[in-house]
Each structure stands twice: as structure tokens, then as C-alpha cells.
Structure 1
Amino acid sequence: MSAIAQFHLAFPVRDLDEARRFYGDTIGCPQGRSDVSYQDFDFFGHHLVAHIGGDGAPLQNGRFDGEAVPVPHFGMNLDRESWEALAKRLKAAGVSFHEEPHLRLKGKPGQHVTMFLFDPSGNALEFKSFDDPEQTFIP
């Protein structure tokens, strides 16, 4: 694979404001896109997303762009050529996807393609490719 841009980690938190203070104010991570259920952070160039449940408890499934996503999960933000090659490789290997490769945030800032799968131990993986990598951390 060619140019790998950023590691991606989505993780559960008990309180988004607490996470914003810690990652944003204490550590100094710029904040990106967010809503009532998640907050993106630029973690020294890598892509962290804090997710919370409606009752304040960490989730097993978060929400993003109207869809349930497994939390925690990790993966990579890839260039498009590498993402397409990986999708083809996974399909050829008969991998069962949790979310088939598809477009997310269509027509919005941060538009990207994504796919979710689980490794043999049940760890959730997400691979994505932003149409414009400069929009990874936009609010």
C-alpha cells in the first residue's frame, strides 16, 4: 500500500465535555466535527473520535451520520487508491463486512468512503478515505 495518512481510533467516553476538556484543553488536541454523541480530535495528526451513549454510559455502538457504528474500533484513513485496493482484497478473500464499502457524509464537508469489519477476535476495524484529506478534522 502507498501513502498511509492517519491512524484512526474511536473509543467510548462517559462524558463528552470531560473528554473535550482533557483531550482539547489539557493535551491540546484541536477539535473537529462533533454532535451530541461524538467529538473528533486531531491527536498529533491522527484521528481520534470520542463516542458516548445517550445515558452518559460508554457504548458498544455509537452513532455517526445517522448510522450505528461499533465502539470501540480502530483503523486507518487511507489514500483512495490504497482504500480501493484494500476493499478489493477483502472482498476477494470473502471477508464478511459489518458495513460494506460505501460513501458517508454525501455532499457534506468531510465526505468519505468507509468500510467496517471485525477481525477473527471480534475487534472492530474501520478503513476510510476522505475525498479531501484536509477535511478530516473540520468541525
Structure 2
Amino acid sequence: MSLSPFHLAIPVYDLPSARRFYGEVFGLEEGRSSEQWVDFNFYGHQLVIHEQPRTDAQTDAHTNPVDGHDVPVPHFGIILEWSQWQALAERLKSHGIQFVIEPYIRFKGQVGEQATMFLLDPCGNALEFKAFKDMNQVFAK
């Protein structure tokens, strides 16, 4: 399956802190920028952080129960190859990231088994990174 790159623009209330987080912690390549926004290459996709006042979702995130965990809503992320996911989990741990949901295997032994982890950026935006041992199960029921 051929995927087209997505474009996602998210609010950040502390642009310098968010810029360091996505650039240094994740090691994302920076693209164009201005005094109010910065483009990043987010695993081949365009992530843009836009400065704006703090939002309610950044202050008090809603959660929904999934597999015994409280998953923050809204959230975004990417599905990585298994080894990439493991490397990212180690990178984030080495940077002292506090996880909302620690890296673990969700739906173990079931259809859709996946590795997942949730964290917040410095401005409270929730991110999820996941990997499937069997990529054919990404949309499996």
C-alpha cells in the first residue's frame, strides 16, 4: 500500500520548548519556520507546531479506557516498524521522558496485537507511537 504524506498542524503555547522537544528529543529534521511556527519532517510527514495560547485539551485532557489504560483524547502519532518503535522507546527513556502510558504490548495474543506508548509534548499535546508485528493487522477487526 502506498501512503501519501499527511500534514498536521498542532497548537503549542511555548514554541521554543516544543521546537527543542521535536528537534532534539525526537531528532526530527526541521523545515521552514517563522516566529510563530516550525515545520518538522515527522517520519516522512509534515508536522507543524503553531504558537497559540494554551487550549483546554492541553490543560485538562479527556481520556477513554482502552485495554485497561486511560488513553488521552485527542492524540496523534505514527505506526513505526517494530525495531523503530523499540529504538524510539529507548531514545525517549534516555531523555527522561515521562510517559502517560509506558511502552507495552497491547491486545497481547489477540487480533491487532501492537506495541504502544503515550506521552505528552511540553505543551500537553498527546502523542501515541505504535508498531504491529503483523502490519496486515493495522485495520483488522
TM-score (norm 2): 0.56
Structure 2 counterpart of 1:80, which letter?
Answer: W
Do the aligned partners of 1:110 and 1:131 also contact (CA within 8 Å) in 2?
A: no
Structure 2 counterpart of 1:66, which letter?
Answer: G
The 3-state SS of whatever aligns with 2:92 is: helix
Equivalent residue, structure 2, for 1:106 = 108
Do the aligned partners of 1:83 and 1:128 also contact (CA within 8 Å) in 2?
A: yes
Alignment partners' CA distance in 2, 1:133 and 1:99: 22
Alignment partners' CA distance in 1, 2:113 and 2:66: 12
**Cα distance, 1:110 vs. partner?**
0.5
Equivalent residue, structure 2, for 1:69 = 71
2:84 aligned to which of 82, 85, 96? 82
Q: Which has the higher contact order (CA 8 A, sep 6+)?
A: 1
Dislocated runs of 4+, deviation >2 Å: none
Alignment partners' CA distance in 1, 2:97 and 2:109: 29
Alignment partners' CA distance in 2, 1:66 and 1:95: 22
Alignment partners' CA distance in 2, 1:97 and 1:67: 12
Structure 1 counterpart of 2:129, which letter?
Answer: F
Gaps of 5+ in 2: 9-60
Calculate percent identity across the aligned residue pairs: 52
**Cα distance, 1:119 vs. partner?**
0.1
Alignment partners' CA distance in 2, 1:108 and 1:84: 20
Task: State how 1:1-139 maps to structure 2 within 5 Å.
Answer: 60-139=62-141
The 3-state SS of whatever aligns with 1:86 is: helix
Pairwise CA RMSD of aligned residues? Answer: 2.5
Equivalent residue, structure 1, for 2:24 = none
Gaps of 5+ in 1: 10-58
Alignment partners' CA distance in 2, 1:63 and 1:131: 23
Alignment partners' CA distance in 2, 1:104 and 1:82: 17
Aligned positions, number: 86
